[in-house]
Amino acid sequence: MKGEQRKELGLMDGADNAVVLADVAQSVLVSIRSKAEQYVRVKLATRILRDEIESYRQQHQGPLLDRAS
């Protein structure tokens, strides 16, 4: 939970705490989902890039070594 959200909760008198807490929980879940999706995209892109680099290396290692010798 963000500091600002905690501060807002502290200022409430408790009359409708359940509604406020549900709203805060929902916004936290949305934030978590967004960050999780971003994490998965970055991890997938990292894996694809690493695999492509290795593939390139495998394809071009032979000709490179031939030219070097």
pLDDT (tens digit, 0 to 9) for every residue of the chain, 69 residues total?
A: 567 777 666 666 566 777 888 899 999 999 999 999 999 999 999 999 999 999 999 888 877 667 766
Residues 6+ apart with CB under 8 A from 21: 9
Residues 6+ apart with CB under 8 A from 20: 8, 9, 12
Domain ranges of the chain: 3-68
3-state helix, strand, coil in the chain (%, to 5): 90, 0, 10
| pLDDT for position 29 | 96
pTM reported for the whole predicted model: 0.60
Q: How far apart are CA 31 and CA 57, in angstroms?
A: 39
Q: Given this model, what pLDDT does residue 52 score?
A: 97
- Looking at residue 13, its pLDDT comes to 59
